[in-house]
Amino acid sequence: MQLLDGKFVSEKIKLQIADEAANFLNDTGRKPHLVAILVGNDGGSETYVASKMKNCEKVGFKSSLYRYDTTVTEAELLDKIAEINKNADVDGLIVQLPLPKHIDPEKVTEAIDHKKDVDGFHPINLGRMMRNLPCFIPATPYGILLMLQEYGINTSGMHCVVVGRSNIVGSPMSILMARNANPGNCTVTLTHSKTKDLKEQVLQADIIIAAIGKKNFITADMVKAGAIVIDVGINREFSTETKSGFKLYGDVDFDKVAPLTSYITPVPGGVGLMTIVGLLKNTLASAKKTIY
Ligand code: GUN
């Protein structure tokens, strides 16, 4: 079993991004600029956005955060997005999800200029991804592809079973793993809460991508010997053991599953760190106009 080390890989790629950001500053007199909008104070979202902003600073990007109370109206949010869309000093704009119930996430996602949609959630970017055209790929799936690439894992011909069909991870990941590309060229099964015989499906996998959001959901009896296991879960539980007061758990029962695998990502220290790298790479690509 080999650990897919998100800490090591993310730090390595961030050094490359920092180099490119320095060259960009030299050439243009400005830094790549990511703007985040955060509504409310959900603990997970607070942590993720703080980490995105901190990592921007680390690689020499400019970052701006606009915070709103949960009482913000949809119209106010759409106005702010329209203003940021027009601002030539902004390369990337993300609105952290989830949003309060009175705000339609579809409207918000479509309001973002697809050329600044570094989360890759806009239907134009998702449509272009389906057709293998240049686009912003959603940050978590992008980070997973970078991780597989970094370890030289050739996924061609493998059976990939994705567990979870979210717009953010499971659905785009299933499309990316099936594309004619490497990583890719897999036969993909996309499973979800209504899948019959889930255990039998997952047992067929050469590569399992677990993105269901449930602690220890993937157990040892679901994993074929030698499988590659990518754990996307970030399940937060209160804990007195850590300084933050929280402990993170993946979707995979790591201790029992890891010995069966050829490669596995830990939580924390795996996919989460790679998500940030995906976002930074998209923001840099937007600044350099390499996609649009
Ligand atoms: N909520 C959970 N993951 C993400 C993400 O990658 N981007 C945004 N905007 N919200 C999220």
Could you tell me the CA-to-CA distances from 54 to 50, 57, 58, 65 in Å, in that order? 6, 5, 6, 11
What CATH code would you report for 139-274? 3.40.50.720
Nearest CA to ligand 1 atom 8: 96
Tokens found for residue 132: 């293998």
- Read off the pLDDT of each residue in 42-70 and give the average, rounded to a whole number: 97
Banded model confidence at residue 112, pLDDT cuts 50, 70, 90: very high
Ligand 1 lining (C-beta closer than 6 Å): 94-97, 119, 139-140, 168
**Nearest 5°: phi and psi at 231?**
-105, 110
User: Nearest C-alpha to atom 2 of ligand 1 is from which residue?
Assistant: 97
Mean pLDDT of the chain: 97
| Residue 222 contacts residue 216 (beta carbons within 8 Å) | no
Q: Where in the chain is the domain with CATH 3.40.50.720?
A: 139-274
Q: What is the pLDDT of residue 244?
A: 85
Q: Which atom of ligand 1 is nearest to the CA of 119?
A: 7
pLDDT for 98 equals 96
Q: What is the mean pLDDT of residues 23-49?
A: 97
- Percentage of the chain exceeding pLDDT 90: 98
Distances (CA, A) of 258 to 6, 118, 245: 16, 33, 26
ipTM value, please give it.
0.96
Encode pLDDT of 168-224 as tens digits: 999 999 999 999 999 999 999 999 999 999 999 999 999 999 999 999 999 999 999
pLDDT tens digits, one per residue of 211-253: 999 999 999 999 999 999 999 999 999 999 988 889 999 999 9
**Residue 123 confidence (pLDDT) above 90:** yes
Residue 24 φ/ψ, nearest 5 degrees: -60, -40
Q: State the span(s) of the chain assigned CATH 3.40.50.10860.
A: 28-117
Listed as own residue / partner, the contacts of 131-136 with beta carbons closer than 8 Å and 24 or more positions apart are 132/179, 132/180, 132/181, 134/290, 134/291, 134/292, 135/291, 136/282, 136/285, 136/286, 136/291
| Backbone dihedral angles phi then psi of residue 67, each to the nearest 5 degrees | -110, 140
Name the CATH architecture for the domain at 28-117. Answer: 3-Layer(aba) Sandwich (3.40)
Confidence of residue 88 (pLDDT cuts 50, 70, 90): very high
Distance, in Å, from the CA atom of 173 to the CA atom of 171, rounded to the nearest integer, reads 5
Going through 138-275 in order, the beta strands assigned E by DSSP cover 159-163, 187-191, 207-210, 228-231, 235-238, 246-249, 263-264
Give residue-wise pLDDT tens across range 265-291.
Answer: 999 999 999 999 999 999 999 999 999
Question: Is the distance from CB of 167 to CB of 121 less than 8 angstroms?
Answer: yes
Phi–psi pair at 261, nearest 5 degrees: -95, 165
Report which ligand 1 atom has the smallest distance to the Cα of 140. Answer: 6
